[in-house]
Structure 1
Amino acid sequence: MNSRQKNVVSMLAAVGVAVALGLYAYLEGKDSARREPKPEAPTALLDVQSPDAGTGSTPRVPPVITWISLDVPQGKTVMERQAAGWRITSPRPGPADRLLVDTLARDLAEAKFKEALEQNPTDEDLVRYGLKPPRATVMARAYVPDAQGGGAEDPSRQHTFTFHVGASNNFDGSLYVQREGDPRVYQAHGALRLALFKNTDGWRDPRVFPVEERSLIRIEVKARKNHYTLERLTTDRPWELVRPVEMPAALKRVEQLVSDIHDRVALGFPDEQLEPQVRKALEKPQVELSFVPTMGEAIRARIAEVEVKGHRLVFALREAPGEPVLAQVDSSLFNAVDLSPLEFKSRQALSVPLGAVARIAVHPPGGGEPIVLETSMDSNRWEVVSPMPGRARQFTVASLLGSLQKLEAETRVDSNPRNWSRYGITNTSAGVSLMDTSGTVIARLWVGAPVPGKPQRVWGRGSSEDVLELNKQTIDSLPLTLEALLERAPAATGTP
C-alpha cells in the first residue's frame, strides 16, 4: 500500500469514529429524554417543620396530632384530641380508647416512607397499586411544638395532611401510599394497616365501669335478689356493710367485687336502630350500681337484659361521670354483683384486739379440765396455771395467739342456727377461750364435728353467730396440748 492509499484509509477511519460518536450521543440523548428523573429521597409521612427549627443538623421534631379522620371500608370515623383525652366526634360521639388512638397518632407522626416508587404514575399504575380508588383516606391535623412544648393555639403552626392508602405489598407487607397534592407513589411500613382498618366501634373506649377500690368510700348495688350498701369513712379505714345489716365487711371480698366490675369491657355498642329499644329496657333495669369516690363525681350505671332477634343480650348504661356510655356487656355481670350480704362477712374466725389477751383457756374435747395460761404480773411472761403449774413456752404461746388472730373460715354456712349441736358445737366442745385482765372472755373458738363429705374440714364457731367450715389441718396444727405449751424443767444433775 502506497502513501496515498494509507492517507485515504486513515481519513475513512477518522470519519467512521466521528460518525459512531455522533450516533452514540444522539441515541443517549434520546434515551435520557425518555427516562424520568430519579425520585426524590423518601420523606416523613407528615412532613412539617417547626418555625423555630434551625438549619444544619437540627433533629426533626415529630408533630403533635390533634385531629384524625379515617375513611376506611368499614366506615368513616373522626376523632379529636380534647383536654380529657381523645373523643369520637363522628359518626356517633363518644369517648375513644385513649391508648389506641395515642398509638395511632404516634405512628402517623413518626412514620417515614420506605421508598418512592413512581414519580408520575399513570392511571393504570394507580389501579395496580390500589390507589384508584384508594383503599382508605386519612386526614390528620397537627402542629410542631415550640421549645417550651406549646404552639397548639397558634394557627400558623397548624397543618392538615391528607394521604391515600392503597394495596399492600405481598412480599414484605408494606403499603402503597400517595399524599394529597403529590403525584408520587410511596411505599410505607405495613404497621399502619393494623391501626387504620377498624370500624368506629373499634376506636371506642371499651371501659364501661372505670372504678378502683382504693379510691372508693361507698358502693351501692340494687340487683334482682339482693340490695346492699358498703361504706367506709376514708380509704384507709375498713369497709362496713351498712345495709341490709350492719357488720364489718371482708376487704378481699370488696376488692373482688370491684375488680369483677372494673374488668368488664364492652362486647359491642348498639347501633342507631337498636338503641331506642335498649334505652327503653333500661328504664326498668335489673341492676343499678353506684360508686362514690373520695374525689370527683359518683359513677352510676343501670343494667338490663334485652331480647334481640331471639337472643337475650345484656346492656349497661353508664350515666356518669362525663358523657353517658351505652354498651353490651357479658351476662355474667348479673351473678358478679347480685351477692348475698353473707358474702361480705369477714372470713376471720375470731375478732381479737391486739394486746388485750391476758388469760388463755384451752378446752379439751368432752369438757375435761382446761389448760389455763396467764401472764405473770411480775415478769409479764406467760405461765401455765393448771392443771400443772409451770413456765410456758413463750414462743409457742405467741405462735398460738398469732394463729388464732389469722384463723379464717373456708366458708360461712349458716347464721344463728337454732340447733348448734347438729354441727357438733356444744358447751363441751374442744376450743380456746381468750380473756382480758379481768377474766372476761373476749373471744371464743369452738371446734365441732367433721363436715360430711369434706374430710379436710370441721364445723366451727367463732366471734360471730355463724357456722363456719374450718380447715382441719390448720386446727390440728394449733399447739393445744399441755406438752406443747409447758416448758419442762431440766432434769437434776446433782450439781449445787
Structure 2
Amino acid sequence: MRATTVVLLGLLAAGCSRDAEKPPAPPKIFATEPAGPQRSADPAPVFTHLTVKARGATTQLERTPEGWRLVSPVEAKADPYAVEALVQQLTSAKFKATVNASPTDADLKKYGLTSPAFTVTARAFLPDANGEGAEDPSRQRTLTLAGGDENPFDGSVYVRREGDATVYAADGAVRYSLDKGPFELRAKEFLGPLELTALQSIEVTAKDHAWSLTREADGKSWRMEKPEPTRANTGRLTDLLKAFAAHQALSFPQDTAATRKALGLDTPVVDARFVPVSGEPTRVRLAQVTRDGAPVVHALREQGAQSTLAEVEPRALTTLDVGVQELKDRRVLSFPRDDVRRLEFLPGGKGAPVVVTRGAGNGDAWQVEGPGGGRALHFRVVKLLGRLESLKAAAFGEAKVKRWERYGISDASRGVVLRDGDGRELARLWLGDAVPDTEDRLYARGSGPDLVEVSMGAVADLPTRAADLQEAPPEASDGGAP
C-alpha cells in the first residue's frame, strides 16, 4: 500500500512538472492590458481609427455616428462588411503560435517582416459601464500589427506587434481580413440612397426613352409630365430606383476632366437628374466605350461639389431606360376611398342603376336606394369598393382615344360611378367589348386617358339588380301561435 502511494505521488509530481513547463497560451492580437493575459471580464475595445497599409496604398478610416468612412486617400463611405471583418479579427483573434521570441534581422527577412505585406494601426478605447471613455487617455489603446509571408504548410501568416519583438503565427483569416487596399475597404454602392420618399422630381434621358416625373400635391403619388401627362406607377418607380442604386462599382478611376472626356461622359448615354425635397440635386451620367473589343461602362455621380467616378456593369445602362407603358400607373380607378358616399352600379343598356349610399344620417351603414331598398350587405359593398380600388390594367391599349364606341364603350355601357357626399363624381368605370384573341379580358375606361384591358373575372360580380346587395328581411314572427 505504501509503495503504491509513493508511485502515485511520483506520477502526480511528474505531471505537475510537465504542466509547469508548458508554454503559455498565445495572447490575443489586440491586448487590452499592457501585461498579463486578458481577463474575460475586460470590456471589448471600441475601435475609432484604422490605418491600413496594403496593396501599395495607405487607407485611413474613422468611425462616425453613421458608420465607418474612408478619410484618405479619398473621402467615401466604407464597406461595412469588410471593416466589420477587420475589426472582428482585431477584437477576438488570437495568435496561433509563437514562432520566434528573439528573431534576428535574418529571421525577420525570412518571415517577410522586413518589408511587411500589410500593416494595420488600430486605435480603440475601453468603454466604462456607460459605454463611454473615448476621451479618457487611461482607456485608450493603440495596436500596430505587421503581417509578413504566408506559411505554405498551414496557410498561417507571420505577424509581429509594434513594441513586441516576438514573431507569431496568425490564422490565415487574419491576413484575409487585414490585407485590404482602398478599393476593398470602400463601399461599392455609390449611387444611393435614392429614396423615392425624399425626392420631388426625376428626369431621365436614355438611349431609347426619355421621361420626367414629379411628386403630386398629396406627397405620395407621382405624375408623369413627359412624354405624356398621366399618373405614374409609384411601386414600379420605387423598384427602378432601388435597382439603379444597387449597382456596384467595379473600380474607381481617378476623376479628372481628361478622364471624363475619354470615357464619353461629356456625351452620356444616360443622363439622370434627381431633385430632392430639400438639399442639392444629384446628377448621374453613364457612358460606354469599347476596350479590347468589349463594352466598358462608367458612371459619374455629382451632387454639389462632390463627385464619384466608377466603372459599373453594362446592364446599368438599361435600368432606367424604360418606356411610358412601364411607368404608367396600372390602377384603373383613382379615388379617395374614404370620400366615397355613393356607388352607382350601371347594368348596361337602359337598365336602372343599382345605387347604394351612406351618409351622416345612416352612419357607416350602406343603404340600397330606391324602391324596395333597405339595408345593404355591408361586407359585400366594402369588398366591391376594395376591388374597384385595386383594379389593375392587364394591358394598355390606344392612348387618347377619339372614338370609344369602337371598343363598345359609351354612356350605355355597363360600369360604376363613385361619388362623394355632395354628389361630385370621384371616378367612373366603363366596361366595353371583349378583347379579340384573348380568353378573359374586356376593354375598359377609367380615371386615366387611355384605353385599358381588364380581367373579366375582376368585374364579373358587379351587381346588376338591387337584390344582389340587399340584406334579407328578418323572418316574420308568428305571434306565438301554437
CA displacement, residues 189-237 of structure 1 (integer Å, 9 cap, x when unaligned): 3321321344542222201212242651323223133130323568x54
Gaps of 5+ in 1: 1-36
Residues 396, 479 of structure 1: 8 Å contact kept? no
Which residue pairs with 2:10 in the alignment? Answer: none
- Mapping of residues 286-365 of structure 1, within 5 Å: 286-320=269-303, 323-341=306-324, 343-365=326-348
Which residue pairs with 1:218 in the alignment? Answer: 200
How far residue 93 of structure 1 moved from its aligned partner, in angstroms, is 6.5
Q: CA 1:382–1:38 in structure 2 vs 1: closer, same or farther (change >3 Å)?
A: closer
1:466 to 445, 450, 471: 450
CA displacement, residues 32-63 of structure 1 (integer Å, 9 cap, x when unaligned): xxxxx976542232345489x9x999726536
CA displacement, residues 92-150 of structure 1 (integer Å, 9 cap, x when unaligned): 6654324422431342244321321333457887687x536777231314243564734
SS at match of 2:144: strand
TM-score, with length taken from structure 1: 0.75
Which residue pairs with 1:149 in the alignment? Answer: 132
Gaps of 5+ in 2: 1-20
Mean alpha-carbon deviation: is it higher for 219-228 or for 267-276? 267-276
Distance 1:369 1:57 in 2: 84
Residues 113, 148 of structure 2: 8 Å contact kept? no
Which residue pairs with 1:476 in the alignment? Answer: 460
Residue 368 of structure 2 corresponds to residue 383 of structure 1: yes
Residues 113, 159 of structure 2: 8 Å contact kept? no
1:443 to 410, 418, 427: 427
Which residue pairs with 2:120 in the alignment? Answer: 139
Q: CA 1:142–1:183 in structure 2 vs 1: closer, same or farther (change >3 Å)?
A: same
Residue 89 of structure 2 corresponds to residue 101 of structure 1: no
How far residue 446 of structure 1 moved from its aligned partner, in angstroms, is 1.3
Which residue pairs with 1:30 in the alignment? Answer: none
Distance 2:429 2:40 in 1: 78
CA displacement, residues 376-428 of structure 1 (integer Å, 9 cap, x when unaligned): 88656512426x65654343233323322332223433321233234332333
Q: CA 1:150–1:449 in structure 2 vs 1: closer, same or farther (change >3 Å)?
A: same
Q: How many residues were matched structurally?
A: 450
Residues 127, 139 of structure 2: 8 Å contact kept? no
Q: CA 1:360–1:105 in structure 2 vs 1: closer, same or farther (change >3 Å)?
A: closer
1:265 to 245, 248, 271: 248
How far residue 469 of structure 1 moved from its aligned partner, in angstroms, is 2.0
2:170 to 181, 184, 188: 188
SS at match of 2:454: strand
Q: CA 1:277–1:307 in structure 2 vs 1: closer, same or farther (change >3 Å)?
A: farther
How far residue 461 of structure 1 moved from its aligned partner, in angstroms, is 0.9
Q: CA 1:133–1:432 in structure 2 vs 1: closer, same or farther (change >3 Å)?
A: same
CA displacement, residues 13-35 of structure 1 (integer Å, 9 cap, x when unaligned): xxxxxxxxxxxxxxxxxxxxxxx
Root-mean-square deviation (Å) = 4.0
How far residue 473 of structure 1 moved from its aligned partner, in angstroms, is 1.7
Distance 1:125 1:451 in 2: 84
Residues 360, 434 of structure 1: 8 Å contact kept? yes
Write the letter of the residue equivalent to 1:450: A
Residue 62 of structure 2 corresponds to residue 81 of structure 1: yes
Residues 211, 224 of structure 2: 8 Å contact kept? no
Which residue pairs with 1:34 in the alignment? Answer: none
SS at match of 1:221: strand
How far residue 456 of structure 1 moved from its aligned partner, in angstroms, is 3.1
Residue 252 of structure 2 corresponds to residue 252 of structure 1: no
Mean alpha-carbon deviation: is it higher for 272-281 or for 187-196? 272-281
Which residue pairs with 2:222 in the alignment? Answer: 239
Distance 1:182 1:324 in 2: 43
Q: CA 1:436–1:271 in structure 2 vs 1: closer, same or farther (change >3 Å)?
A: closer
Residues 65, 140 of structure 1: 8 Å contact kept? no
Which residue pairs with 2:268 in the alignment? Answer: 285
- Mapping of residues 189-204 of structure 1, within 5 Å: 189-204=171-186
Write the letter of the residue equivalent to 2:285: R
Distance 1:152 1:307 in 2: 53
How far residue 476 of structure 1 moved from its aligned partner, in angstroms, is 1.6
Which residue pairs with 1:116 in the alignment? Answer: 98
How far residue 244 of structure 1 moved from its aligned partner, in angstroms, is 5.4
CA displacement, residues 255-292 of structure 1 (integer Å, 9 cap, x when unaligned): 12221222222233336899715665112223233334
Residues 152, 158 of structure 1: 8 Å contact kept? no
TM-score, with length taken from structure 2: 0.77
Write the letter of the residue equivalent to 2:30: L
CA displacement, residues 464-486 of structure 1 (integer Å, 9 cap, x when unaligned): 22112212221124444544223
Which residue pairs with 1:228 in the alignment? Answer: 212
Distance 1:205 1:428 in 2: 61
How far residue 321 of structure 1 moved from its aligned partner, in angstroms, is 5.9
Distance 2:343 2:134 in 1: 73
Write the letter of the residue equivalent to 1:309: D
Q: CA 1:412–1:397 in structure 2 vs 1: closer, same or farther (change >3 Å)?
A: same
| Bigger CA radius of gyration | 1
SS at match of 2:458: helix
Residues 54, 181 of structure 2: 8 Å contact kept? no
Residues 359, 372 of structure 1: 8 Å contact kept? no
Residues 346, 416 of structure 2: 8 Å contact kept? yes
Distance 2:425 2:260 in 1: 61
Residues 135, 167 of structure 1: 8 Å contact kept? no
Residues 431, 444 of structure 2: 8 Å contact kept? yes
Distance 2:295 2:276 in 1: 33
Which residue pairs with 2:45 in the alignment? Answer: 62
